[in-house]
Amino acid sequence: MSLIAIIGGTGVCDTKLLQNVRQDRLPTFYGMIHYLRGTYGGKEIIFLPRHGKMHSIPPHLINYRANILGLKRLGVTAVFATTAVGTMTRERKPGDFVLPDQFIDFTNSRHESFFDGGANGVVHVDMTTPYCPKVRAALVKAGEDLGYPVHNGGTYVCTSGPRFETPAEIRMFRQLGGDVVGMTTVPEVCLAKEAEICYATVSMITNYAAGIADQPQTHAEVNERMEENSRRIQSLLMHAIELYGDDDCECRHGLAEYGGFKA
């Protein structure tokens, strides 16, 4: 049976939706992770708050390697992640959901791999399909069932943060093919790929990116939009988890030529 994890902010997972909820922690080589564990619809769910229990960790300081390695050691096989993003097009507007199928990495100084040489060796993981098609398919069907505006596909431009982007940067990202911009999917998606975990993210559009909007963007605006739509993203995630099957997936064999991922 699949063990499913949700990675997101503190407002994403309402523990009242789960049964038999308990808090726990797990030490890893990279540090400690703190998580919640419960059941929903007969399925066991792990909830990992990406920014910490009190949303105190900025995106560039998140311990991504500890988070993904910890989930792998817990037996997680599929991750439903959430991210807040700005839209770089007028066609996709605040309040919409986007399921990225590609990303462009503009982060720096982040640890993007478990394989830095030494005892772990060197691995070159394929990223042709970064986000799991089967997890995304469950999210698409859930959006259809609930009547939510879910855009299936798009390129997520990931920046280091914690500052927002300049209008000049947004113009460059658009020319490179970017659709939405955020600060957290990389290296999370890369590490999940190395760990042979099915992974997809639901990006909630909270604002127009710099230069697209008519006024400066604020963190309060992002938080307000997240609060307004927290119930919708919760419903989308939980219904997608109901729909998600336990079939095998290519994501779980991404390191087969290296003998698989050793957690």
Read off the pLDDT of residues 30-63 as tens digits, 9 standing for 90 and up.
999 999 999 998 899 999 999 887 678 999 999 9
Read off the pLDDT of residues 153-203 as tens digits, 9 standing for 90 and up.
999 999 999 999 999 999 999 999 999 999 999 999 999 999 999 999 999
Predicted model pTM: 0.93
Q: Identify the band that residue 248 occupies on the pLDDT scale cut at 50, 70 and 90.
A: very high
Q: Are the beta carbons of 34 and 55 closer than 8 angstroms?
A: no
Which CATH code fits 4-258?
A: 3.40.50.1580
Distance of CA 27 to the CA centre of its chain: 22
Predicted confidence (pLDDT) at residue 16 exceeds the cutoff of 80: no
pLDDT of residue 228: 72
pLDDT of residue 214: 72
Please tell me the number of Cα atoms within 13 Å of 99 on its side-chain side: 27
HEC readout, the chain: CCCEEEEECCCCCCHHHCEEEEEEEEEECCEEEEEEEEEECCEEEEEEECCCCCCCCCHHHCCHHHHHHHHHHHCCCEEEEEEEEEECCCCCCCCCEEECCEEEEECCCCCCCCCCCHHHCCCCCCCCCCCCHHHHHHHHHHHHHHCCCEEECCEEEEECCCCCCCHHHHHHHHHCCCCEEECCHHHHHHHHHHCCCEEEEEEEEEEECCCCCCCCCCHHHHHHHHHHHHHHHHHHHHHHHHHCCCCCCHHHHCCHHHCCCCC
Read off the pLDDT of residues 85-139 as tens digits, 9 standing for 90 and up.
999 998 999 999 999 999 999 999 899 999 988 888 999 999 999 999 999 999 9
SS3 state of residue 62: coil
Average of per-residue pLDDT values in the chain: 91
SS3 state of residue 224: helix
Q: Are the beta carbons of 64 and 191 closer than 8 angstroms?
A: yes
SS3 state of residue 85: strand
Q: Would you give the DSSP letter of residue 211?
A: T
Tokens of 144: 């259809």
Domain spans of the chain, in order of start: 4-258
